Amino acid sequence: MKVKITFTKGYTLHYYLSVKSGGNVSSMARLIFTFIILLSASVSSAETVKNISAEGSCAIVSVSAEQCQLIALQRARAAAIEQASGVSVASSTLVTNMALTADFIKTYSKGFIINEKVDWLALGSYQKDSKTPPIPEYRVNIIADVKVPERKIKSFGLKAKTNSIVYKNGDKAVVEAKVIRDAKIAIFNIIADDKVVMVFPNEHDKENRISGKGRLLFPDKNTKTELVMQTLDGHQRDAEAFLIAALDNEYARDFTDIFMPLEAMSFSAFFRKFSDIVDYAEDVMLTYEVINPKDK
């Protein structure tokens, strides 16, 4: 998905974040991301399980080769988390619906990968039965370090939602977050090419503290930004996610001390940094689809 940010300065991510004030779109830098996250929530002395070997696969059905490769990698990560946390992760070789892939993302809530080595295996084939032709199948093996969270701090009661779970190109997204005690809030975008970016707070939306029983809307009616959704070039559908995080007000650092707004980070680099604050944080992941009706 593309993000076009058109404040005074412009940026392009994966959906479009654009200015509402009528100004022209200025310079934009294309950043591309993934929809997979292996996240933790409100944890303390998290255990790290090192050198887990796991495999994943994906047969090409109704998705591009690029998307299939990423799904195979995501499944290998899911299998690694399953080994580290003991949580069963549903999986399937075939991918025929991006909505199912979005649901698949939701299973990543019991641990997160902070290091990984990826080795692609020889291209295989998948065949349902002798009456159907074989389908090319991507296979991958990873060696991963997985951090398994353990809850420590008092819950923020963090709840979040988006204004839709399926967007068409050009639709505008809104993220809402609520807490029951004071917190600092950040919104990260996990987009369809294995990168993560912090979209809030940012240069023009800096105030990220909300009081207990308060509510945060992003973008709100007073901001200069919009989240205008867009699939990646050449994609008919993308499944992605927002990660909403609440950080304890008593924690000395804020999200902008740790993450650069609108800067793309690799999957493992992001979660290595996120693990540094996880003792004082709680998070919620919201998955969604973006579809391109014109791309048949």
Statement to judge: residues 235 and 98 lie in one domain: no
Mean pLDDT of 248-264: 92
pLDDT for residue 118: 96
Among the ranges given (28-42, 79-93, 217-231), the one the predictor scored with the smallest mean pLDDT: 28-42
Final residue before a domain boundary, out of 148, 175, 205:
148
d(CA 289, CA 275): 27
Q: Which domain holds residue 218?
A: 2-38+153-291
Mean pLDDT, all residues of the chain: 78
Positions of E strands within 129-280: 135-148, 159-162, 166-168, 172-173, 175-178, 183-190, 195-200, 209-210, 215-218, 227-228, 237-248, 265-266
Statement to judge: residues 141 and 158 lie in one domain: no
- Count of domains for the chain: 2
Statement to judge: residues 212 and 284 lie in one domain: yes
**82 in a structural domain:** yes
Helices 65-85 and 98-105 cross at an angle (nearest 10°) of: 30
Statement to judge: residues 250 and 265 lie in one domain: yes
pLDDT for residue 296: 52
Do residues 160 and 175 touch, judged by C-beta distance below 8 A?
Answer: yes
**203 in a structural domain:** yes
What digits encode the pLDDT tens for the residues 162-194? Answer: 999 999 999 999 999 999 999 999 999 988 888
Statement to judge: residues 172 and 284 lie in one domain: yes
Statement to judge: residues 174 and 135 lie in one domain: no
Give residues with Cβ within 8 angstroms of 19, minimum separation 6: 5, 6, 7, 10, 25, 224, 225, 226
Final residue before a domain boundary, out of 111, 132, 148:
148
Higher-scoring residue by pLDDT: 146, 102: 146
Burial (Cβ within 10 Å: 0-12, 13-18, ≥19) of residue 130: exposed
What digits encode the pLDDT tens for the residues 88-134? Answer: 655 554 454 565 566 556 656 577 888 999 999 999 888 878 888 88
CA dihedral 77, 80, 81, 82 (to 10 degrees): 120
| Side chain identity at residue 269, one-letter code | A
pLDDT for residue 99: 59
Q: How confident is the model at residue 22 (pLDDT cuts 50, 70, 90)?
A: very low
Backbone angles phi, psi at 113, to 5 degrees: -85, 125
pLDDT for residue 59: 85
pLDDT for residue 205: 93
Statement to judge: residues 162 and 96 lie in one domain: no
At 241, list the tokens.
């996610």
Statement to judge: residues 212 and 275 lie in one domain: yes
| Side chain identity at residue 251, one-letter code | Y
Statement to judge: residues 57 and 107 lie in one domain: yes
Mean pLDDT of 14-43: 37
pLDDT for residue 42: 34
**73 in a structural domain:** yes
**296 in a structural domain:** no
